[in-house]
Chains A and B, each alone.
Chain A
Amino acid sequence: MSSNRPRPVADLHSEPYWEALGRKILLVQACASCSRRIHPSAPCCSKCLSVELEWVEVGGEGVVVSYCVVAQPLVSGIAAPYVVLCVSLLDAPDVHLIANVAANSVSGVAVGARVHVVFDLIDDDFVLANFELVANAA
């Protein structure tokens, strides 16, 4: 079954990200010069301006920086209400990922909550990186 949800159109910067995500692997860019982690994909490191960026796999553990609940059906193919998280990754705190909460469960979602990645197959090879709450996390 195909989803009407907006599908990402990969470009020359982002292609490796989506290709890996399709295989349920989370990649971000890393600056070869200062090792800063970068996402979304960028033309250079905004700190040292190095254009030598590599793709590295990151762990899926994170912290909720913030969240919101979209209450109206504003985007085609996505039923409201739904939660959108902003997640900072534990092994790449500069990286903030926008994601939905797995199973659209709002219970327990809070600023500072611990989460880990869940790869949700939307259809065919279309995978999104979502997050679920880590139970009993400190």
Chain B
Amino acid sequence: MKSTQDVGGTAIIGFGATDVTRQPTEAIGQYAVRAVKAALETAGIDKDEVDGYVGAPGLASYSTNHWDGADEVSAEYMLSALGLKPRWSADTSGLVLGMVAAARGALLTGMCQYVVGVRALYYRSGSVYSSVSSSAIGGSEQFTMPYGFGPGGARHAQWLARYNSVNGATREDLFAIVKAAHTHARLNPRAYWKHSTLTLDEYLESRWVVEPLCLYDCDIPVTGAAAFVMTTTEAAKALGVPFATVTSMSNGYHPRGALDDAGLVASDIQVCQLYDGFASFPYFWYEALGFCPDGTAHRFIQDGTIELGGTIPTNTFGGSLGEGRLHGIGHLHEAYLQVTDQAGARQVPNVEHGVVQVGAPDRSWIAVVSRGN
């Protein structure tokens, strides 16, 4: 047990999110700033009190230009935009839970008191989101890109093809994940697919991106941003705002590490936010986290098990498949909303602990997020 009780805990005390769109009328920096202002407001924290900043600008897509302030925002850019000179700041890799892990370290070692974390994504309709036009490829991709292997989730398509073959799973099975995402998105006014009426037939007839992944198995690229405010559990209690405790975290190489450190097992979890950049990803986690035996996730998810009202409601905000591709900060946002009873029409009753997992199956972080008290 190396859990938070030994060293004091950390908490998420505020969250802000912008609209998501495929026709942005503002630059990414404006989305990011709007998200931060909303997060500070819900936390009841003044800008001048912020003494920590964390971001994760990278990993947007193959066709991203990586232009700071145009299609991604670095810590430097955000600190300048917000007029902040924090005691601690960092850009991390590892998507949004890498940010949370770094923030925990900074807070628990006393480097700062209030950390703002920002994740912003940019997409404008009309551009091809995931494509490669380089004529020369070095580094690790020199062994894959000459074969056209990389964009469109090809690596994940191969993973799914093997899963399907070994376990006898079908596209009809996988639709349960997409269906849950679209069903939940209808309860999320921010979701891109909030008016979705997707049927199994439409799903089966949609075009392949990289077979066996079809259009609806891929998350939808959007522009949008979200931001959180974290502090120590002690400070959160003193503030008197609703807060979520970050109970435990582990790297995906140790799938049950976060549950073990919290002294929990799968059946102690009331709600899951599992990263769904591709619909196949959650298969891996239902098995690795212990919700079902290996090789059976495609059966476990059937019959509404993962929808609101089921045994383990998952991606209750629609996930990246339904809300839009915000690279996991939507998942963390929903975990915060669920354990603070702010999820509105999609609130799961009596949530004590939620699991958040962000990243592809082979490079992930997992957190247990709990009701603050």
A66-B159, A84-B158 known; A40-B135 Cβ under 8 A:
no
| Complex Cα–Cα for A99 and B133 (A) | 19
**Of B131, B133, B146, B148, which one neighbours A7 at CB under 8 angstroms?**
B146
Number of A-B contacts (CB under 8 A): 121
Q: Does B132 lie at the interface of the complex (its beta carbon under 8 Å from any beta carbon of A)?
A: yes
Knowing A40-B143, A66-B161, A84-B154 touch, does A71 contact B149 (C-beta < 8 A)?
Answer: no
Give chain B's interface residue range (CB within 8 Å of chain A). 35 or more
Determine if B158 and A66 form an interchain contact, defined as CB atoms under 8 angstroms apart: yes
Query: Given A6-B134, A7-B137, A110-B165, A75–B157 Cβ distance below 8 Å?
Result: no
Q: Does B87 contact A (CB under 8 A)?
A: no
Mask of B192-223 contacts with A, CB within 8 angstroms, 1/0: 00000000000000011111110000000000
| Given known A-B contacts A6-B146, A8-B137, A8-B143, A74 and B152 have beta carbons under 8 A apart | yes
In the bound complex, do residue A111 and residue B166 qualify as a contact, i.e. CB atoms below 8 Å apart?
Answer: yes
Q: State how many angstroms separate the Cβ of B60 from the closest Cβ of chain A.
A: 16
Q: Which of A75, A97, A111 contacts B148 (CB 8 A)?
A: A75
Please give me the residue from chain B that is nearest to A109 by CB atom: B161
Partner of B137, one of A9, A71, A78, A110: A9
The reply to whether A69 and B133 form a contact with Cβ atoms under 8 Å apart is no
Asked if B5 CB lies within 8 Å of chain A CBs, one says no
Interchain residue pairs with CB less than 8 A apart (28): A5-B146, A6-B145, A7-B146, A8-B137, A8-B143, A9-B142, A11-B139, A40-B140, A40-B143, A68-B158, A68-B211, A69-B157, A70-B148, A70-B149, A70-B152, A71-B207, A71-B209, A72-B207, A72-B209, A73-B131, A75-B132, A75-B145, A75-B150, A76-B132, A84-B148, A98-B147, A122-B146, A130-B147
Q: Rank and list the top 9 A-B pairs by shortest CB-CB distance, nearest first.
A: A9-B138, A68-B157, A71-B208, A8-B142, A111-B165, A66-B162, A69-B211, A78-B148, A66-B158
